[in-house]
Copies of this chain bind each other. A is one copy, B any other.
């Protein structure tokens, strides 16, 4: 793990790093000392580790929860090179969208392709970040919407260190098997008027999660219109499960 830069503002210290050539960012309270819970945030499709929604959420998790937050550029996203195969998958997805097709299966293909690489990267990042004094081997949470959910479901299923996950804005396509292996508590967000994910598909993904403790939050609005108060609700959800 190689730290590249460190800046602080509004009570939050931001450190950029790379880990085995994966670019990442770690946010901690400016006056941090000693161990604290860690949230891994997975960004959406076409976004990156410092997308505005990630930064805004991370700042609240740090300042209001006292948590550490880490985000990585997903494979083929942000500062990372794009492979030919990914470029082809995205081109097919876009062509399907333009043609007005139901692209759920194509989206699932893309997520599956990315998850194969992203899940072990996130596991390595957890290990590296938990070795830092100001994080430590405490509770771990995961937060990811849309593509961040498509990668987050297999990650949460595979990684026993994840004690609670906030997921959502995605349907069941391609995720049934992984969802049936998720046993950590989940708070699942669904946009009631989602223009990309059919309501029934989102409800089906929530239904498929094997977690005994799971809670669905549905709000009016389109895919990108999750209300601000859900960040506060996610904070409370993590705090409740971190004990």
Contact status of A217 and B220, CB under 8 A, knowing A229-B240, A236-B232, A236-B236: no
The answer to whether A214 and B206 have CB atoms under 8 Å apart is no
Q: A192 at interface (Cβ–Cβ under 8 A)? A: yes
**Count the A residues whose beta carbon is within 8 Å of the partner chain — how many?**
19
Residues of chain B within 8 A of A216, CB atoms compared: 192, 216-219
Cβ contact of A220, chosen from B192, B214, B220, B232, cutoff 8 A: B214
Given A192-B216, A212-B220, 17 further pairs, Cβ under 8 A: A203-B203, A206-B218, A213-B220, A214-B219, A214-B220, A215-B217, A215-B218, A215-B219, A215-B227, A216-B216, A216-B219, A217-B217, A229-B240, A232-B236, A233-B233, A233-B236, A236-B236
Within 31-72 of A, Cβ neighbours of B (below 8 Å) are at none
Q: A207 at interface (Cβ–Cβ under 8 A)? A: yes
Instruction: Name the distance in Å between A232's Cβ and chain B's nearest Cβ.
Output: 7
Instruction: Name the distance in Å between A9's Cβ and chain B's nearest Cβ.
Output: 27
For the complex formed by this chain, how many copies does it contain in all? 2
Question: Once bound together, how far apart are the Cα atoms of A217 and B206, in whole Å?
Answer: 12
For A190, the closest partner residue in chain B by CB is B216
Question: Once bound together, how far apart are the Cα atoms of A217 and B233, in whole Å?
Answer: 11
Instruction: Name the distance in Å between A145's Cβ and chain B's nearest Cβ.
Output: 16
Question: Once bound together, how far apart are the Cα atoms of A83 and B69, in whole Å?
Answer: 61
Residues of chain B within 8 A of A214, CB atoms compared: 219-220
Within 172-211 of A, Cβ neighbours of B (below 8 Å) are at 192, 203, 206-207
Question: Once bound together, how far apart are the Cα atoms of A237 and B240, in whole Å?
Answer: 17
Within 119-158 of A, Cβ neighbours of B (below 8 Å) are at none
Instruction: Name the distance in Å between A239's Cβ and chain B's nearest Cβ.
Output: 11
For A216, the closest partner residue in chain B by CB is B218
For A221, the closest partner residue in chain B by CB is B212
Residues of chain B within 8 A of A229, CB atoms compared: 240
